[in-house]
Amino acid sequence: MVAGKLLGPEISYSKGELRISFWEQNGTASNSYQLLVRRKVKEMISASLASNNELQKTSHEADQKKLMQSLVEMNSKKMDALAKTASMASREQVQAFVGSLQEQNLKLMKDYFQLSASEQKKYMEGMLTDLSGYLQEQRKQDLQLVQTKMNYLEKNSNQLKQETEQILTSLISNPNRGRTITDQDF
């Protein structure tokens, strides 16, 4: 309540909208607060995206290295076997062997892209969950602030009502006190 009082609350109601703001001096503070919140969210998203990009890059490079290494090893072994049997094999057998190599390479590439897409999907779901949690926490804090301000307004309203009743009671019990002095009184 003390912090709320020091921040200079501004509460208005118009067109079915309750607006509560602090440091309201020609809109600069509420705009500053909105810019601060937006900047913080942008920073969180930028940091998360940078982290995701770095993770994806590292993962992609590692997967590429593994894929290339397995392709080289597989091709090397198969080329050795092909060289040995090429002299004995017919042209049709060589074409069938090359076709099977191409199919295996295609399958490996499809598996790689599928794995990469599923990891990216998991990461995005995690990022959205984190953002949702942040927004829930922000909403909770905003509701607590509104409740505190409403309690403060209710307290001030009750105090004003009590003071008004005391003034009216005082005026009713002492009618001469509120009367202005005229020339006839002298």
DSSP, collapsed to helix, strand or coil, labels residue 10 as strand
Between CA 114 and CA 40 the distance in angstroms is 34
- List strand residue ranges (DSSP E) for the chain, in order: 9-14, 17-22
In whole angstroms, give the CA distance from residue 39 to residue 120.
Answer: 25
For residues 186 and 184, give the distance between their C-alpha atoms in angstroms, rounded to a whole number.
Answer: 5
**Residue range 28-41: mean pLDDT, rounded:** 70
Question: Is 52 in contact with 123 (CB distance < 8 Å)?
Answer: yes
* Residues 25/32, Cβ–Cβ less than 8 Å: no
pLDDT in tens, 137-162: 999 999 999 999 999 999 999 999 99
What is the pLDDT, as a whole number, of residue 98? 84
Q: Flag whether pLDDT at 27 surpasses 50.
A: no
Backbone angles phi, psi at 27, to 5 degrees: 80, 0
Whole-number pLDDT of residue 66: 86
